[in-house]
Each structure stands twice: as structure tokens, then as C-alpha cells.
Amino acid sequence: MKQEQFESFQKLLRRLNANSKFYKGKFEKAGIEIEDIKTPEDISKLPLTTKEELRDIYPLGLQAVPDEEIVRIHSSSGTTGKPIIIPYTAKDVEDWSIMMARCFQTVGVTNLDRVQITPGYGLWTAGIGFQFGVERLGAMAVPMGPGNTDKQIQMMIDLKSTVLIGTSSYGLVITEEVAKRGIREDIKLKKGIFGSERWGEKMRKRIKDELNIEIYDIYGLTEIYGPGISIDCDCHSGLHYWDDYVYFEIIDPVTCQPVKEGEYGELVITTLKKEGAPLLRYRTRDLTRLIPGECSCGLKYPRHDTIIGRTDDMVKVKGVNIYPGQIDSLLRNIEGASSEYQIIIDHINGKDTMTLRVEKENGVDPNELKAEIIDHFKKRIGILINSEVVSIGELPRSEKKSKRIIDYRYQ
């Protein structure tokens, strides 16, 4: 940890202790005196913050400044239970747009680009976060929001959009539509920036090859500003994160202890400069690793790897932990298997069963592919599964996030 970063960290602790009822309470409960945090090594003594705690203090229990300083709120989607509300000050909004503009600069977007923004606007942070970054950079925002693929394609052609922003699943929907209509020549796209979802190398490759664009992975979460705290560069060897704003740690999700350098685990983030809703050692539930060393692009910001899954997507089948990220990487090495798959887990006659449904590429023999998938799975992940091979387009597509694991065991 750089000295400058540690100073920001100590300042954050003082602010939390003085202004955040939530954190003051946590420090007292854990018996922590913030003056005792004297070196970066002491950080691991500080309590972690969980999503459940943020739900418990709904709606504004995280707010750490007076009401008159709050200019906006955003909220996590809250698919289960209460959502999490995050209040922002004017400076938080500005800092976020600075980080987003930095993301665009990292991937070579300039003020001559036209950026079609397909994530949602509103309570969810994505759309407006991209919008502010585009405007800060001086490029032209085309604020479409999600869905309505006909209109998206029409605007893409008429306005000559050069950058497409969305989820990778939606990128695939657009890619398939462009191919179906045979209109690649009519669109001017050069780059795609996709995020908010773990996505496989094969899906990435299909979008890249079929649209003939360069694509980048962007990361972020509502609790920590929103998207734009990291992005991959032209080297595509990890995502650079803005360590003047956020401090990253990787912990073992079960023991909560730091992992060894370069190992995979759960990403834990501290916001170094946030005012409205600062977070200390927040457990993101995202699984990744920090990449040691410097990137060959020359950028000095440190890197983390692609998100390989979430701690809560992890499923235990026949006693083995399985992350969807492992399935992506397995299928990448099997010729003839497409990027789309679905996992169905059940408990039949006292035993766990797992079926991996995979789309095959055209011209591939389904029985051979099936045998190969079962064999690879047994060798790499260690359990015997069933497989079902289907044609391209048979598995469900979604404009938001593809649901890849269906677990009937607890229903």
C-alpha cells in the first residue's frame, strides 16, 4: 500500500468515527480504537462490512454527512429482501464521473466518439454513471436505456454510434440481430464496453468477431459509486482500478483472512474518498484476484482479474464447490462448444445430479461433444455429470443477466 493511500485510509477512519453512527457503533462493538491503526498491516484488524448490515440500516443508515449535502440516491436492485440505498454528495457524483471518464480514456474513447448507452437509468446506477462520464469526456451520449432492439439498431445506424455500452448478454442480442439482418456494413461501431456480469471468453469472442469491434470489461457496484471503478486496457490482461479512490483486498470468503498475493478470493473494497456513504472493507461477494506486477500498457494503476463468479453463485454438488467461472473456462477449451450454457442441479434418489446444457457450434456432432464435456468435467472439476447438447439459440437469452444455474434441490 502506498503511503498516500494509507493517509487517505486513516482520514477515512477519522471521518467514519466522527460522522457515521453505523461505523462508530461497529468500532465500539469490535473494541477498535482507530488510533491503533498505525500501519497498512493493521487494516486486517478492522471489521468487514456486509450486504446484510447495509440492508438492516435501510433506508439511510449509512449516510455520513448532513442532509443538505446529499444531492442524489441510488439503490441496488434488491432481488431478495430490502434494497440498499446509497446517498451521494455533489463531490461523490463528480468523483464517479472522473473515474468513468478515466475508464473511457483508458480504452481510447475520445470527444469525437458517439456512445450508445443501453444500461438502465433511474434508481440503478449504471446508465447515469456512463452518461456523466461521457459528458465529462466531451463525447456524445446516446442515452437509450435498455431494450427495444429495433430502435437501438436504428439509432446505431442513423447516429453512427461508435461505442456500445451494455451487459455482455445484451451485446450478444445486438450481435445476433445485426447478423440476422446482414447490416454490419451499416453500423459504425468500433468498441464495446460490457460489464455487470461475469462473461465467458467465448461470448466475448463471438461479439468481438461478429461485430468486428474491440471489447472491454468494466467493473463496479452500486454500493461503491457504480460501474467505472475499473476497466481492462488494450492489453486485456486484467482490469486497472483507481487506487486513489478505492482500496482493494482479497480475502478467503470462508475464513475472512487475506489470501496470498495473486490468489483468488472475495474482493473487499474500501472507499477512500467517498462522503455520502463511505464504506470500510465492504464484502462485494465477487470472486477475483489481484494481479501482481505492472501492465505492459504502461498505466501505473494496479490490476485485478476478471470476476470469475460470486460467492453466492458458488454451488456445492456432490461435495465439490463449483463456480460458474470454472464452467466458462472449461468450455473455452472444448472445441465445438459455444459460449452459452445452463446448469441444472437436482437431488434424485438421495444423490445430487448435475446436467450441463451446452449450445454446440454448427456442424458439430452432438454425441461426440457430449462425451467430451463429461470427460473434461470429470478430469478438471472432479465429479461425474450429465450433459445435454443443444443447437445455437435454444438456451434462453436475456436482455439483463442470463440465469445460468437452476438448482431444484431447495425448491
C-alpha of 334 from chain center: 25
Count residues binding Zn ion (CB under 5 A): 5
Does 163 bind Zn ion (CB under 5 A)? Our answer is no
Give me the 347-386 binding string for Zn ion, x by CB under 5 A, dash otherwise: ----------------------------------------
Does 178 bind Zn ion (CB under 5 A)? Our answer is no
Does 293 bind Zn ion (CB under 5 A)? Our answer is no
Which window, 16-24, 234-242, 314-322, 331-339, contacts Zn ion (CB under 5 A)?
Answer: 234-242
Does 233 bind Zn ion (CB under 5 A)? Our answer is yes
Q: Give me the least distance between CB of 286 and Zn ion, in Å please.
A: 20
State which residue, 256 or 299, has the beta carbon closest to Zn ion: 299
Q: Give me the least distance between CB of 134 and Zn ion, in Å please.
A: 22
Which window, 149-157, 299-307, 340-348, 366-374, contacts Zn ion (CB under 5 A)?
Answer: 299-307
Which window, 142-150, 217-225, 228-236, 250-258, contacts Zn ion (CB under 5 A)?
Answer: 228-236
The Cβ of residue 100 has, within 10 Å, a number of other Cβ atoms equal to 27
**What part of residues 235-274 is at the interface with Zn ion (CB under 5 A)?**
235
Among 123, 143, 125, which residue's Cα sits nearest to residue 134?
143
Long-range contacts of 258-266 (CB under 8 A, 24+ apart): 258/44, 259/289, 261/290, 261/292, 262/289, 262/290, 262/291, 262/292, 263/289, 264/288, 264/289, 264/305, 264/308, 265/289, 266/311
Does 231 bind Zn ion (CB under 5 A)? Our answer is no
Q: Give me the least distance between CB of 117 and Zn ion, in Å please.
A: 24
Which window, 1-9, 82-90, 265-273, 291-299, contacts Zn ion (CB under 5 A)?
Answer: 291-299
Q: Give me the least distance between CB of 297 and Zn ion, in Å please.
A: 3
Q: Give me the least distance between CB of 231 and Zn ion, in Å please.
A: 9
Distance in angstroms (rounded) separating the CA atoms of residues 42 and 49:
16
Using CB under 5 A, list all residues that contact Zn ion: 233, 235, 295, 297, 299
